[in-house]
Amino acid sequence: MTFAKRTICPPQPAVLVTGASSGIGKDCVRAFVAKGWHVFPVVRRPADVDSLHALCPSAACLTPLLGSVTDEASMEEVVKKLTQCLAQGAAQGGAALRLQAVVASAGMGAFAPLELSSLELWREVFEVNVFAVASMSRLLLPLLRDAATSPGPAPRIIVVGSAAGRLPGPMQSTYCASKHAVEGLVDCMRMELRPHGVKVVLLQPGLVATALPARVEAATEQQLRVVAPKLRAVYQNQMEEMQAALRTMMTKSIHVEV
């Protein structure tokens, strides 16, 4: 009696990327697709899905998920859909997917002196840059721990921080404080999750050629319009000098290369 050989294909590595509609996050999607990973980009707007599909014409390598990193119910739905997709391939006899990495790339900046930065702005920056990282990691840890028990490289959480977490500057108190907080969060996560086979990595890039600085400047101008003219005048010269310095530095910024 002879038996036919059965070929067992290794699972395809999968990665979830937040902040995937632009900047570092979108370039991460492009790089992972090029390396043959299945990518689950998280975006807020349906319009962003079309631009992502242009990176991968084959639906077999890309599954966009709609969700907001600052809305826990929304992220719970994202994780639910992700769990279903991870199980679907093996259940249908196709290639199994293994969640091998999570990239937390969503972020926002702010540019204003402390005295002119409202608590609303502080909360918004920390919601995106800190709390969203903690919430997303907490929701995805069961899947990452499961992946750690299967053959293959150790799964990891990759958090995109900033050099501002180590090098603070004037007019950036909200942003720098949030990136300092992210550094402490990641250091704790790394020690907590090492015994469970999950690695945690913090990236701290300097100036990168993305749309973030322009968005920060526009948002800051909108924020300052509601400030009393007399108080704004106190910091006017400092802010103009910092904006000019930022524009000069951005001419020397590096392009994203993952």
Least confidently predicted of 88-102, 132-146, 152-166: 88-102
Percent residues over pLDDT 90 in the chain = 49
Crossing angle between the packed helical segments 132-148 and 173-193, to the nearest 10 degrees: 20
| Average predicted confidence (pLDDT) for the chain | 84
What pLDDT score was predicted for residue 2?
57
End-to-end CA distance of the chain: 52
Residue 242's pLDDT band (cuts 50, 70, 90)? confident
Give, in words, the CATH class of 12-250. Answer: alpha beta
| Domain regions of the chain by residue span | 12-250
- Flag whether pLDDT at 54 surpasses 90: no
What pLDDT score was predicted for residue 212?
60
What pLDDT score was predicted for residue 229?
78
